Amino acid sequence: MSQPAEARPPSPTLFFETVNAYQRTEALKAAIQLDVFTAIGAGATTAGELARQCDASQRGVRTLCDYLVVIGFLTKEEDRYHLTPDSATFLDRRSPACMASAVTFLASPMLTDNFRDMAAIVRKGGTVATEEGTVAHEHPIWVEFARSMASMMAMPAELLARLVGSASGQPWRVLDVAAGHGMYGIAVARQNPQAQIVALDWASVLAVAQENAQAAGVADRYQTLPGSAFEVDFGRDFDLVLLTNFLHHFDPATCETLLCKVHAALKPGGRAAALEFIPNEDRVTPPVSAAFSLMMLGSTPAGDAYTFSEYQRMFANTGFANCEFHRLPPTEQQVVIATK
């Protein structure tokens, strides 16, 4: 039985692990670049076999794989390495759920360089990299996001489409705001053959979404609307507006400006679905959602991970009648659905 935290003697372990946490990121990136997980899944399980398969040194592969065992991505029996269930599902490129490509965006210098001077960020209360951070007009990071994150977003997209009742088959008009890779609107179109999707984003980003719509077989029901969500005319009479991983980039007043446009674009009874990282009211649980506020502090001028009560207030202030909160397991995100 573990001791309560207050009964444990002080330990420098957390400090040491955190100071060296950059090594975890770089080790995972290297394993993905070398296709270590795919090679193990295909049967190369010793350091020697992996070195030949991955065109790397045996010493390097052995050290890397031992480290991946230590941090939980692999297991080891004698001299053989094996995938964990998570690694087999999400990091072996032969898996349909593989999300290895996401590391290209998540570890991109365009994102990570925002956090090089955290003390300055905290002093200012927002990004110091540039004046607008990642929300600058046509920031190139969003093309990288669209190309790299589609595989990671496939599961939550299917879950969200199911949550909003896409399988009903009603003839919906759907607006996908800041569509990015397009997976959320595409999932609705796949589950509902009567849904027409309008995807809004920068033109360069929408080119990626259109490729994904074509690959998914829904291109004939997939239109694009290039430009800024704050400047483009949305149109009217939408049954559903998707706001996926978007509102957290802005302060509440800016969010409400956008939500007023969303409200006007919906039919009476229409819904807005916001997929977000939503911490509990204590703002420190659950860990992944709560920690996301630091991402917004470092990369945007005023974004945040908002609680459900804060989203309720934003939607109420912009004319929505009610809000529902939904978890989206097994993902780490949550959904707010508001009705006009």
The pLDDT score that the predictor gives to residue 205 is 97
- Higher pLDDT residue, 5 or 339? 339
Residue 3 scores a pLDDT above 80: no
Each residue of 115-148: pLDDT tens digit? 999 999 999 999 998 888 888 888 899 999 999 9
3-state secondary structure of 63: helix
Residue 79 CA to residue 237 CA, distance in Å, equals 62
Read off the pLDDT band of 57 (50, 70, 90).
very high
In sequence order, what E strands does 48-168 have? 74-77, 80-83
The pLDDT score that the predictor gives to residue 277 is 97
Residues 206, 212, 216, 219, CA torsion sign: positive
Each residue of 145-195: pLDDT tens digit? 999 999 999 999 999 999 999 999 999 999 999 999 999 999 999 999 999
Provide the CATH number for the domain formed by 5-100 in this structure.
1.10.10.10
Equal CATH topology for 5-100 and 106-339: no
Each residue of 204-236: pLDDT tens digit? 999 999 999 999 999 999 999 999 999 999 999
The pLDDT score that the predictor gives to residue 133 is 85
Each residue of 7-20: pLDDT tens digit? 889 999 999 999 99
The pLDDT score that the predictor gives to residue 4 is 61
SS (H, E, C) 192-217: CCCCEEEEEECHHHHHHHHHHHHHHC
Residue 1 scores a pLDDT above 50: no
Cβ 230 vs Cβ 202: under 8 Å:
no
Cβ 153 vs Cβ 179: under 8 Å:
no
Each residue of 274-312: pLDDT tens digit? 999 999 999 999 999 999 999 999 999 999 999 999 999
Tokens for 143? 């093309």
> What mean pLDDT is reported for the chain?
95
The pLDDT score that the predictor gives to residue 17 is 95
Domain 106-339 has CATH 3.40.50.150: yes
pTM: 0.91
| Cα angle 317, 226, 255; round to 5 | 15
Give mean pLDDT, residues 19-30.
97
Each residue of 310-322: pLDDT tens digit? 999 999 999 999 9
Largest Cα span, the chain: 65
Give mean pLDDT, residues 62-66.
98
| Domain ranges across the chain | 5-100, 106-339
